[in-house]
Amino acid sequence: MAKNKQQNVLIIGAGLCGSLLALRLGQRGYNVSVYEKRPDLRKTKLSAGRSINLAFSDRGNKAMKLVGLEDKVKALCIPMHGRMIHDKHGKTFQSNYSGRDHEFINSISRSGLNALLLDEAEKHENVNLYFNKECLTVDFEQTTALFLDEENNKQFVEDADTIIATDGAGSALRKSYYLGHKFLFSFSQNYLSHGYKELSILPQQNGDYRTYKNALHIWPRGDFMMIALPNLDGSFTVTLFLSYDEGKYCFNNLETEEQVLEFFREEFPDALAMMPNLLDDFFNNPTAPLGTIKCSPWHYQGNTLLMGDAAHAIVPFYGQGMNASFEDVVEFDMVLNNFNGDWKKTFEVYEKNRKKDTDAIADLAIDNFHEMKDHVANPIFQEKRHLEIALEKAFPKDYASKYSLVTFNEHIGYREAMLRGRAQDKAILNLLADKEIDNHTDLKLVLEKVKKETHAILEDDRIARLK
Amino acid sequence: MAKNKQQNVLIIGAGLCGSLLALRLGQRGYNVSVYEKRPDLRKTKLSAGRSINLAFSDRGNKAMKLVGLEDKVKALCIPMHGRMIHDKHGKTFQSNYSGRDHEFINSISRSGLNALLLDEAEKHENVNLYFNKECLTVDFEQTTALFLDEENNKQFVEDADTIIATDGAGSALRKSYYLGHKFLFSFSQNYLSHGYKELSILPQQNGDYRTYKNALHIWPRGDFMMIALPNLDGSFTVTLFLSYDEGKYCFNNLETEEQVLEFFREEFPDALAMMPNLLDDFFNNPTAPLGTIKCSPWHYQGNTLLMGDAAHAIVPFYGQGMNASFEDVVEFDMVLNNFNGDWKKTFEVYEKNRKKDTDAIADLAIDNFHEMKDHVANPIFQEKRHLEIALEKAFPKDYASKYSLVTFNEHIGYREAMLRGRAQDKAILNLLADKEIDNHTDLKLVLEKVKKETHAILEDDRIARLK
């Protein structure tokens, strides 16, 4: 099925996934046209209050290796070795992400990384980028897309050999699938009861960080939480996750400056002391919802394909949104190796391989919401983490926690990481609850018991599924 | 908040749920107007090939008791005591639904039951029914609905104190919520890979049934299946559940009469012998999809509410679709007792109480798809059912299988039935696999082991959830 002529690929959206995909397909020699509704972010300022920085880890780095950008991206990274947990009195303790020193996550600037990917994509003369072009609808039967040119307010149609939509959670292609009623389209959008608002901790006057730089800070409060990630300029981007309408404090009842200050004095006094700009941030920045989107099929024949958030938007609590989208490109690239030229087969096999894993990270991300806002402050959870770090230090080749499986084991798919990781968590928590292990038990024995119990849990589940 | 004036309630849809709700609200004294898009089914013939009969069981009967129709409905029922399972050679065996003789399900005519409910609702002068009025959209902020009168092709608007939409899986109100973007609306539509087609086994010339009357017949074939439910006229309504596009035989490749006959000769020879009308049925009746719909919130303020399939459409494999919708009315009626006159509070509390249970029956119904097409033919599953029937016979007050919990224990919510039932299934299957019990074990000991293991499973799960 390989075709001789150079194929024209139209990419909708030049965000992180779209620009990486454009770069990779450019490297492979396709004629790539990218249409982005926003202005070129290398020339304008990103709108405030929307995911200024992101967590970057091994799955994302696998994609950077693929396109030869590992070193350039490393220069944008601030390592975060663990969670720095802040209690209501401002007392902190650090809980590392792994017992292996080389395993950590990074804080990275969304716009910095996106600009790098655009610069690199544009170096290929077969890649063309068009900004201020908003996709309105996609005719997936004709393989054409209708755009609005924001510069002259005129509409135009583009066609291509294939169209890949990386236009995020509000994808125009996905809407065309849904509203088109041309095939059975499974689709879900699920919102958490909580929204989020971005705030900031600015640098000290001398430019230094106001709190410990190399950690992801968490203020867990059971029903809600705040987190902070460092930026290269000495500031932190802070995100408050809070119910819209339930609890003593919620977004709907934080209406006055006095109410906001009272809330922060009561719940986050140490953060408040570092946030003289709190009220400006709070009342200027939007409150945004937290949604999960799943759908299927991602593709229509060999004409169109959804990728990245357009296919699977997830909540941010596992720090895997960007990493999952980057991994999409790696997985897609591998399938292209096998079916180059046959878009239908490529899209089919890609979705079959990939969807189980993006479904899994969506579910894991919701699990982690509860872990971050609540469980991290729970003694038995802390005991589990303590043991796991010790196991990872003592047996670096024989033990990986669920967090490590998901974050640092990019050779394992998210679904397998989820199944093994959940079984292992259940094993340790039950062994601790039944006092079969504790923090004084010989680690070799702990490892054996955890492995045995994890295996038994997976086996019991398998039998119950009648497989 | 109780109001003095008689409240006007507008119900969209006069199907099973809408007509029962109209009857109940009529009994409570509300001014009820029901608008239905189809003609009055008491005066016209139901379109062929779409769920002619349904399974009716204890949760549905609870609603019939509430409105005083238990006896009238019983006259429409054909008891089905168990599954009659047909293998590829036409050999059959029966697997009862319960070890308690008074626990069975019923086959009932959709149109017969719907007609009864409409007749009873209409007896109340404060209930008015309007047919051939299709709801196009609902303005949930203004509590008005736009209709198309199919008789004169004119549109008109109706307002009310509150609007309840019981307009099924394609609900106009739900679409208005989704497309309105006025609030965060969580929504999912998920299709199975399989569709269904209704066929029939007609009566013998003397009017007798061609196969055993008092069972739900199943032809399980692993990847697909056929079922049959009896009708009062001596016929059976047969439903074929088959993949659209996968496997040796699928809807997409059954295109000629010869292909259909070959498929039936190979897979369902005993059924084919009773279906001289197969080819007519197969090529005249539609192939329809199998979808699950979940959403939230169901209500907007106190203005509008989704109920029945409009709020939670499920696949048919647990025989609980109608029963769940009828139970909606019972649950709603109980909440009305507490908050009569305050629609907002009524809707809030109703959804809070009810949604966990309708989510559960949706998931259970998908589980049962795999159970019916595949597991019922699996030796270890059959061994489990054999033991469970024996336990129910020997200890009628101390043991109820998952099927019994869901179907015959209407005092327990679906969610609790699901959690207990799944844990119990897992316990028995693992005890059998580990050879800790078998069909020769003393039943008293079996009961003790199953209870102990079920408890341990639920406890391990609770600890893993950190609750």
Q: Give domain status of residue B417, yes or no.
A: yes
pLDDT tens digit string along B190-224? 999 999 999 999 999 999 999 999 999 999 999 99
CA distance B147 to B34: 12
Within this chain, do residues B353 and B382 fall inside the same structural domain, yes or no?
no
Task: Write out chain A residues lying below 8 Å of B289, CB-based.
Answer: 184
Query: Any idea which residue has 């300022």 for tokens?
Result: A45
Q: Contact A184/B191, CB-based, under 8 Å?
A: yes
B12 shares its domain with B139: yes
B250 within some domain: no
Would you mind telling me the total number of residues written for chain A in this entry?
A: 467
Q: Is B256 on the interface with A (CB under 8 A)?
A: no
Name the DSSP class of B310: G
- CB within 8 Å: B188 and A191: no
Residue B245 lies in a domain: no
Contact A466 B429 (CB under 8 A): yes
- Which of B370, B404, B427 is the endpoint of a domain? B370
Query: Residue A321 falls within a domain, yes or no?
Result: yes
Q: Which residue of A has its CA nearest to B195?
A: A184
Supply the pLDDT for residue A50. 55
Domain of B392, in residue numbers: 378-462
B387 and B318 housed in the same domain: no
Query: pLDDT (tens digit, 9 = 90+) per residue, A401-411?
Result: 999 999 999 99
Q: Does A347 touch chain B (CB under 8 A)?
A: no
What is the share, in percent, of chain A residues with pLDDT greater than 90? 94
Region of A361 please: left (phi>0), alpha (psi -120 to 50) or beta: alpha
Low-confidence stretches of chain B (pLDDT < 70) are 1-5, 45-51
Rounded to a whole number of angstroms, the distance from the CA of B169 to the nearest CA of chain A is: 14
Q: What tokens were used for B395? A: 């200890």
Instruction: State both tokens at B153.
Output: 């092709």
Establish if A438 touches chain B: CB-CB under 8 angstroms: no
Percent of chain A beyond pLDDT 70? 97
Q: Which pLDDT value is given to residue B48? A: 52
Residues A41 and A119 reside in one and the same domain:
yes
Question: Side chain identity at A153, as an amino acid letter?
Answer: N
Residue B359's CATH number: 3.50.50.60
pLDDT for the residue A48: 52
Beta strands across the sheet bearing A105-109: A53-56, A105-109, A78-80
**Interface-testing mutation among B186, B344, B351, B428, with chain A (most A C-beta atoms within 10 A):** B186
Q: How far is CA A220 from CA A235, A241, A278, B341, in A?
A: 21, 10, 19, 41
Whether residue A147 lies inside any domain: the answer is yes
Domain boundary among B317, B336, B370: B370
Chain A residues inside the 8 Å CB shell of B294: 188
Q: Tell me, what's the pLDDT at B280?
A: 97
Residue A377: pLDDT band (50, 70, 90) is confident
Render pLDDT for A166-223 as a digit per residue (tens, 0 to 9).
999 999 999 999 999 999 999 999 999 999 999 999 999 999 999 999 999 999 999 9
Q: How far is B384 from chain A (nearest CA, A)?
A: 11
Same domain, B137 and B59: yes
Supply the mean pLDDT for chain A: 95
Chain A interface disruption, residue of B371, B453, B463, B467, most A CBs within 10 A:
B463
User: Does one domain contain both A44 and A170?
Assistant: yes
Tally of domains within chain B:
2
Q: A75 — contact with chain B (CB < 8 Å)? A: no
Question: Is residue A299 domain-shared with residue A395, that is, in the same domain?
Answer: no
ipTM of this complex: 0.92
B356 and B388 share one domain = no
- B101 to chain A, closest Cα gap in Å: 28
B115 and B29 fall within a common domain: yes
* A 387-426 residues inside an 8 A Cβ radius of B: 422, 425-426
Residue B298: inside a domain, yes or no? yes
Residue A420 is assigned to a structural domain of this protein: yes
Q: Do A466 and B188 touch (CB under 8 A)?
A: no
Same domain, B184 and B59: yes
Q: Are residues B14 and B131 in the same domain?
A: yes
Query: B190 and A185 in contact by Cβ < 8 A?
Result: no
Please say whether the beta carbons of B130 and B33 come within 8 A.
yes
> Given this model, what pLDDT does residue B390 score?
96
Which of B317, B351, B370 represents a domain boundary (last residue)?
B370
Nearest to B464 among A378, A430, A460 (CB): A430
Going by pLDDT thresholds of 50, 70 and 90, the confidence category of residue A374 is confident
- Which pLDDT score is estimated for A5? 66
- Of the candidates B191, B425, B463, the beta carbon closest to that of A464 is on B425
Please report whether residue B275 resides in a domain.
Answer: no
- Residue A41 and residue A181 in one domain: yes
